[in-house]
Structure formats: structure tokens, C-alpha cells
Amino acid sequence: MLVKFETRKRGYILQLEHDLLGDLVLTRYWYGLQNNRHGSCMQVFLNEEDAHRQFEKVVRMRLRNGYEISE
């Protein structure tokens, strides 16, 4: 799963995928659209339910903070 968010000044990518060991990894990338600031964070889940719950939580949080889903 991959979701991209943007505001006028910032971008955010949220990705949920399996790694080579079969665990679910939630990766977050953030970046400035008008500057060169960026970063990332990876979170490993052994339980699929927990991973999907966290994914949905981050999606709700981004939308609440003014981000819009982009292509």
C-alpha cells in the first residue's frame, strides 16, 4: 500500500509492505516542496492487524493536519 499526501509546502509518503523476512514494514517519508529538508522513519510489525491499524491512524492524522491525498 502506498499513499501520497501534500500540502502547499510539504509532502508525505506512507508505504506499507512486506520485507524479505515476511514482516510488515511501515515506512514514512517527508519532504519540503520549497526546500531541501526531508527525512524518513521505518516501523516493523510482526502482527498484520497492528500494522494496518497504525497505517490508518497515520492517514487520519495527515488528513486532520491539512494534507490532501495526491497521485
pLDDT in tens, 4-43: 999 999 999 999 999 999 999 999 999 999 999 999 999 9
Residue type, 58: V
State the CATH architecture for 2-62: Roll (3.10)
Does 60 score more than 90 pLDDT? yes
The mean per-residue pLDDT over the stretch 41-46 comes to: 96
Residue 2 · residue 59 · CB < 8 Å: no
Contacts of 55 (CB under 8 A, 6+ apart): 1, 14, 16, 26
At residue 59, the pLDDT reads 97
At residue 71, the pLDDT reads 75
